[in-house]
Amino acid sequence: MSTEPHTPTAYPVFKGLGRKPTFLGVPTTLLFGAFLAVAFIAMLAGLAWWGLLVVVLPTIAVLTRHDDKAFDVLWLELKTRTRNRNKAFWNGSSYAPSAYPPQRPWLQRRTGDHDR
């Protein structure tokens, strides 16, 4: 068997279980999005634009080879930066994508919408 001592708090982590499903090295959600985007372009500009998939799919495969959640991180950053209204004041950006709940009245706007 194994020569390592058994510790009850140790838990083996299998990183393959946390990866997204891929097809040809491209995560399936990105594959679906690429097909939709290229299909939209092809409908507007002509059927020859389907050849764009020959460039887009290998590019996505290369970008997600080592980190399959790279586009998720980019999407989260874009989502939080667009919601950040205090960027000019604080000279920075927030990384909390969710809005504050209405149960916190001290975080609501001061424009008279306290009655919600």
- Give 91-105 pLDDT, tens digit per residue: 776 555 566 666 666
**Identity of residue 42:** A
What's residue 109's pLDDT?
A: 58
Positions in the chain whose pLDDT score sits under 70: 1-2, 4-8, 10-16, 93-116
DSSP states of 42-59 as a string? Answer: HHHH-GGGGGGHHHHHHH
Q: What's the burial of 27, exposed, middle or buried (CB within 10 Å: 0-12/13-18/19+)?
A: buried
Q: The pTM is what?
A: 0.59
The domain spans of the chain are 17-107
What's residue 59's pLDDT?
A: 93
What's residue 16's pLDDT?
A: 66
